[in-house]
Amino acid sequence: MKKELDALLCSRYPLIFADRHAPMTQSCMYWGFSCGDGWFDLIDTLCARLQFATDHNKAPQVVATQVKEKWGMLCFYYWGGNNEQSGMVDMAEALSERICEECGEPGKRRVSGAYMTRCAEHAPAQVAAGETLL
């Protein structure tokens, strides 16, 4: 993810990304957001809801430990939270399979040597031609 978007998420949700600049021996957030810019809105919305639950519904504070793409899906690792917040994370991860990681437009989970979620425009040519979808 672009540095500007990384910084924006951290400034909007300082409690969720409290470990963003912790040493690599303490948190994988040291590496930043290991995913494409297309998932910015998804992560932003997820964090807004997670923080709202804490601020207004007395839910425990969620603190992200790693945010990355894995197997073509968003993986949002964290500690804290409750069952409702866990469901929010599960929903965001599931939605990531339908959102292009590059641009944020509707996408499909595809395979081209690696798993990815891409729209037709951002899918590698060999995948778009053969339409190997999951």
pLDDT tens-digit series, residues 15-41: 999 999 999 999 999 999 999 999 999
CA–CA distances in Å: residue 21 to residues 24, 56, 85, 127: 8, 27, 24, 37
Residues for the chain: how many in total? Answer: 134
Q: How confident is the model at residue 90 (pLDDT cuts 50, 70, 90)?
A: very high
DSSP state of 60: P
Q: What is the mean pLDDT of residues 110-123?
A: 91
Q: How confident is the model at residue 130 (pLDDT cuts 50, 70, 90)?
A: low
Cβ–Cβ under 8 Å, residues 81 and 59: yes
